[in-house]
Structure 1
Amino acid sequence: MTISAISITPKTKTLVDSDIVIGKDILELLANAMYVDPLTIYREYIQNAADSIDEARTAGLSMDDPHIVINLDHSSRTVRIRDNGLGIPNAEFVQRITAIGASHKRGTDLRGFRGVGRLSGLGYCHELVFRGKAEGDAKIIEVKWDNRALREKIRDLSYSGSLIDIIREVVTHQEISATNKAERFFEVEMRKVSRLKNDLLMNEQSIRSYLSQVAPVPFHPDFRFGDQIQTFLTERGIRPPIRVELNDNAGPIYHRARNTIPFNPKVTDGLRNIEFIEIHDDEGAVAAFGWIGDHAYMGAIPKKLGLGGIRLRAGNIQVGDESLLAPLYPEQRFASWTVGDIHVASKKIVPNGRRDDFEHTVHYSWLLSELGVRANELAHQIRTRSKQRQHLRTVQIHFQTIDDWFGLAQKAETPMLLKKALLGLTDEHILKAKKEVTKLSDGTEEHLSALSRLEELTNEIYILGEAVEERDSINNQAFSSATEAALLKALKVVLSNARSAKVGTKTAIDIVAAVSAPH
C-alpha cells in the first residue's frame, strides 16, 4: 500500500474592520496607569511645550523670548501651562488633540513621539482642556475632555462603545474669536485638580524642585560653571534652554546644579571643578556626553536638595531619576554622592513610554557598560577622598595637640623643666604628623596646606628649643642628668594622659614645684 503526501496550500485572509476591537479601557490605561509620580504630568506638558518652541525655531519664526508659564489658581484648583511655540493650526487642532498614539513628531528630532503624554493629566483632574492657535489663525480652538464622564463610562459594564465612540461622548470643542491673529500659543488647563500626597500637584515648591531636575531650563546665573557647561552642550547640539516660570513670584526655574552642597547646617561642601566626558560608539560617533561635578564626596547628598546623582537626559529632558544608574556602582549608595548629567545622543537609544528608563536594547546595554566603568572610577575616588579625610583629621588632631603644648611652652611663667617636657611632646607629635601627612594625596590642597603648616610649626619649635637650651646652659642645673631625664619622662606621661592640656599642665607644675622645693 502506498501513501501519497497531500499538499495543502494555506489561504490567508486579511482582517476586516469588524474583526478589530479597541475597547474603552485603553483610555484608562493611558490616563491612569502610565506614571507612578503625579509630578510627571508637568514633565510631559513641559516636554510638549519645549518641542513646540523648537518647531517654531526650526520654522524660522520670531523667538525673542521663548518661554513656558505655569499658572496655579488655588481657589479654583486649576493649573494652566502655556507656551509661545509654534502652536497648532486651526484646521488640525481637533484631530491632533483627539489622536491616540499618532504623533506627528515620530521620525523627527523632537522629544515626544508616541502621542499619549498629553492625556496624562486626565488621571488627576475633572476636566482637561487644550486651547491654542497658530500664527495667522483667526480663531482659538478649545478642546475639552470630561474626565468625570469618561470614568463613568469606563465603570459602566453595560457600555459597549468602542474607543472612538467614547471619545465622541466625552470630548467637546469650540471656536473662540482671536483678538490677535499674529499671536501663537498652546495651553493645557487642568480643572479641579485632585488632592494627592499633600496636594503635590498644587505645591509650588515641589513643582519648582521637580522641574529644576527634569526640564530643559538654564543654569542659574550664579552657578560658577554654568556658562562653561552650556557652551559644551551647545557645541554638541543641545538646543538653547527655555525659560520656565511659575506664578509664585520666585522668578524663573533654574537647573538643579549649584555651587554649594549643604549636608546640614554645620557642614557644607562645594563643587571644585567640572569634568567633561564623551562616549563614542564603535563607529566613532558620539553616543553620549555630559559633565560630572568634582567635590569632596563627604557623603550622600540629601535627597531633599534634588541635586544628587548623575542623571541621564534625552533631548535635555531627564529620563528616570537620581537612582537610575545606581546598579552600576560597586556600592549603590555611591550614586547619591555624585552630581552630573549625561546627555544621550545616539538615535539607537530611546526613552521608554514612561520615560523612567530607556528601552532595553543592545545599544543601551553597551552604554550602561561604558558608564559602569566611570561609576567604578568614581567609587574609587569616593573611597580615596574618604581615606584622605581620615588622614587629614588625624593630622589636624596632631596639629591641635602641638599648638596646645607649644603655647604653654612659650609662656614665660612656665618652669624650665616643664618647658623641656612640653617641647619633647611637640617633637613627638611633629614626627607623628609628618607620617600622617605623607598619607595625604600628593599635590592636593589638603596636602600642600598640611606641609606648609608642618614646616611652620617645626621652625617655631626649633627656635624655641634653641632658646630654652641656651637659657638652661647659663643657669645651674637643679638636677643631675639622670634625675632630669626621669622627671621629664614622668612629666610627659602626666601631660599625655591628662584629659586636657590645661589640667595636665596644672598637675605637671605642681610636680615641678614639689621636686624643686628645698628639702
Structure 2
Amino acid sequence: MYGEPRHTLREYVQNSFDGIRAAQRVRFLRGRGEVTVTIGADEIVIRDNGIGVSADQAWKTLTSIGASKKDRQRDAGFRGIGRLAGMAYCDKLIFRTSFPGEPTISKLTFDCDTLLKAMNPDEGGEVELSRLLARSIKMTTTEDASKSEDHFFEVTLKGLSKAPEVLTSPSEVRSYLAETVPVEFNPDWKRRTDIEEGYRTNFGSALETIDVFVVADGKTEQVFKPYGDSYEHANGTMELESIEYFSGGESRYWAWVGKMSESAAVTDWRTRGLRVRVRNIQVDGTEISERLFTKVKPSYGRFSTYYVGEIYINPESVIPNARRDGFEETSTWLDIQSELITTVCAPLASEAYTASQRGQLDVERVVNDIGDLVKRGNSLAESTRSSYDQVVELMNSARRLRRRAASALKIIDDLDATAVDEGHPNRQKSVLLKDAAKSVESVETQARMLVGRFLEEDDKLTALKARLREEILQEVLDVINAYVDPATYQKIKRQLTRTR
C-alpha cells in the first residue's frame, strides 16, 4: 500500500487523531489526546484515548474495506483502507477497542498470512469475501463493568519477522513521527508561539495537536516537531535568522518559512524544505514544494532545501490522494499550486539565487589561497628541514581548500543553467576553479610523497595513517549524508565504521 513502511504508523496515528477529535467533540474527552507507540521485541502496539468503536459496530466497522463513514472535510482519514496498512509487516493484526459507557472490550484478530495469500491471484486466491473474512478474522468480546467509562482504540502488529528495521527501530520511529504526525513544536523553541498565533489568525482556530509517546527499551519519550534554531549543512552549522509568513487567498493556505544565516541547503532530512500539511499531518515529504520551485525555473528545485517551514492547506479546499503523497488534481488544488508558485516559491527562489551570486565573490579568494598552498608545497619539497607536523598541516590545508573549492563550484552550479553559456563569466570562473582544484590534488600527492621522509618514525606514521583514515571516512560520510535518507545513512555509517 505504501512505499515507506513507516507510513503504516502514520496511518494508525492519523486514525487515532480522528478518534480523539471525535471524543473531544462529544465531550467524552476533555483533556489532551494521547497516542502511545510501544515497540517490543516482536510486536508494535499503538494505543489512543479516542472514542473507540461500540461493540455492536466493531465487526462491521473494522472489517469493511474501502468503506468509511468519516467526513473528508472534518477527518484526517476518510477512505477506510489505512487500518489494514500493517498487514504486510506482521503475522497477526489485532484491534482492541472500547466505547464510552459500555463495559465491553471488542477484539478482532486478522490472520495476515491467510488474508494476503487468498487475495493474491498468483496463489490461486479466489475466495468469496464473506468466507474469507470468516476464516481469517476472529472476534471476541470481554465484559468488565468497572471499565464502562473507558474508551480507547488499540492496534497491535504481532510477529514482526517481515518488518524492516525502520519500522522496529525506536530512533527511526521517533524521527519519522516527529516529521509527519500532528504533534506540537518543542516547548523550548521560542518561535513556536508566533507560528501558532499566525495559524490561529489565518484559519480562525488553533493548530490541532495530540501528544504522541514512543515507548521502547524501558524508556518513554514524547515526540515533538524537530524544528529549532540551528541546522546542519554540508560544511557545518547555520542559524535560523528569521521567519516569513505567507497567506493564501480566501484562507486556502498559510505558510511559515524559516530563513538561514547562510546560503546553503539544509541536510537534515527531517526538516529541510517546505512541508505541506493538512490538519497538521504531513502530505508527502518535500517533493511537492520542490516540484513547485521547478515551475519557477527548472534549475530552481534545489533552492527549496535552502529553507525550512510548513505550508498548511485548508482541508476544505483539497482532497489527499489514497497514498497521501499528494492531492487529487481538482481545479481548487491547481489554483492553490499556481498561487504558491507566484507568491511563495518565486520570491524565495529569487532570494536564494541572489545569495548564491553573492557567494561567487569568494571564488577569487579561493583561487588565490590555492596558489599560496602550491607555493608552500613546493617550498617544503625543496627544503631539507621540513618537519612531520608541517607535512600534516599541508595535507590538512589542502583538504580544507579542496572542500572550499567544491563549495564554490556548487554555488556556480546552483545558478540558472540557461545563463551559464560558453564564454559566460560564470563558465570562466568554473573552469578557473576546476584548474585550481587540480592543483590542490597535486599538492596532496606531493604531501603524501613527503611522508616518505618519515618512514623510520613508525609511531608517527601510524598516527598519520589513522588520522587520514578518520578524515577520509568523515568526508565520505558528509557527502553521503547530503544525498540519502537518514535510515540509509545510518546503515552505511555502521558498515563503514565496522570495516575500518
Give the TM-score, by structure 2 length.
Answer: 0.67
Give the aligned partner of residue 60 of structure 2.
Answer: 95
Out of 259, 262, 272, the residue aligned to residue 241 of structure 2 is 272
Per-residue deviation, residues 111-135 of structure 1 (Å, max 9, x unmatched): 1111111011111111100001011
Partner of 1:317: 281
Match among 66, 85, 100 for residue 33 of structure 2: 66
Secondary structure of the residue aligned to 1:109 is coil
CA distance in structure 2 between the aligned counterparts of 1:168 and 1:300, rounded to whole angstroms: 54
Secondary structure of the 2:147 match is coil
Report how far residue 163 of structure 1 moved: 2.2
Mapping for residues 105-504 of structure 1, pairs under 5 Å: 105-106=70-71, 109-155=74-120, 160-178=126-144, 179-197=146-164, 199-235=165-201, 236=203, 237-248=205-216, 249=219, 251-263=221-233, 267-280=236-249, 285-303=250-268, 305-329=269-293, 330=297, 331-345=300-314, 347-373=316-342, 374-391=344-361
CA contact (8 A) 1:130 1:189 kept: yes
**Which stretch of structure 1 is more off in the superposition, 349-358 or 172-181?**
172-181
Distance 1:233 1:314, change over 3 A: same
Higher relative helix content: 2
Kindly state the Cα deviation for residue 234 of structure 1 after the two structures are TM-superposed.
3.2
Secondary structure in structure 1 of the residue aligned to 2:70:
coil
2:91–2:111 CA contact under 8 A, matched in 1: yes
Cα separation, 1, equivalents of 2:124 and 2:339: 54
Change (3 A) 1:63 1:394: farther
Mapped partners of 1:301, 1:195: distance in 2: 34
| SS of residue paired to 1:148 | helix
TM-fit CA distance, 1:263? 2.1
The alignment status of 1:41 with 2:8, answered yes or no, reads yes
1:395 shift after superposition: 9.9
Match for 1:138: what amino acid?
P
1:10-89 counterparts in 2 under 5 A?
34-74=1-41, 77-89=42-54
Does the residue aligned with 2:316 lie in a helix, a strand or coil?
coil
Q: Which moved more, 1:183-192 or 1:290-299?
A: 290-299
RMSD across aligned positions (CA) = 2.3
SS at match of 1:247: strand
* 2-structure distance, mates of 1:342, 1:193: 35
Greater mean deviation of Cα atoms: 55-64 or 313-322: 55-64
Measure, in 2, the Cα distance between the counterparts of 1:118 and 1:318.
18
Give the deviation of 1:158 after TM superposition. Answer: 5.3
Q: Is the contact made by 2:276 and 2:312 (CA closer than 8 Å) also made in structure 1? A: yes
1:320–1:355 Cα contact (<8 Å) kept: yes
Is contact 1:269–1:298 with CA below 8 Å preserved after alignment?
no
Amino acid at match of 2:309: G
* Per-residue deviation, 1:276: 1.5
How far 1:272 sits from its partner (Å)? 1.5
Find the aligned partners of 1:386 and 1:239 in 2 and give their Cα distance. 35
Contact 1:193 1:201 in 2 (8 A): no
CA distance in 1 between partners of 2:111 and 2:40 (Å): 20
CA distance in 1, matches of 2:286, 2:179: 9
Distance 1:321 1:396 in 2: 36
> How far off is 1:100 after superposition?
1.4
Are 1:224 and 1:259, in contact at CA under 8 Å, matched by a contact in 2? no
Tell me if structure 2 keeps the 8 A contact 1:297–1:338.
Answer: no
SS of match in other structure, 1:245: strand
Letter aligned with residue 65 of structure 1: R
CA contact (8 A) 1:245 1:252 kept: yes
Q: Which amino acid aligns with 2:134?
A: R
Deviation, 1:165, is 2.3
Q: Is the 8 A contact 1:310 1:342 kept in 2?
A: yes
State the Cα distance separating 1:267 from its structure 2 match: 1.8
CA distance in 2, matches of 1:132, 1:351: 27
The answer to whether the 8 Å contact 2:180/2:282 transfers is yes
Relative distance call for 1:47 and 1:346 in structure 2 (3 A) is closer
Return the alpha-carbon distance in structure 2 between the equivalents of residues 118 and 103 of structure 1: 11
How far, CA to CA, are the matches of 1:154 and 1:87 in structure 2?
A: 28
Conserved? CA contact 1:83–1:186, under 8 Å:
yes
CA shift in 2, pair 1:217/1:211, >3 Å: same
Which entry has the higher C-alpha Rg, 1 or 2? 1
- CA displacement at 1:151 relative to structure 2: 2.9
User: Could you say if the C-alpha distance between residues 370 and 107 of structure 1 is closer, same or farther in structure 2, counting changes exceeding 3 Å?
Assistant: closer
Q: Matches of 2:283 and 2:154 in 1, distance apart?
A: 24
Percent pairwise identity: 27
Partner residue in 2 for 1:429: none
> Unmatched 5+ residue regions in structure 1?
1-33, 399-519
SS in structure 2 at match of 1:360 = coil
C-alpha distance in 2, partners of 1:269/1:211? 25
Aligned CA distance change for structure 1 residues 39 and 158 (closer, same or farther; 3 Å): closer
How far 1:105 sits from its partner (Å)? 0.6
Superposition deviation, residue 296 in structure 1 = 2.9
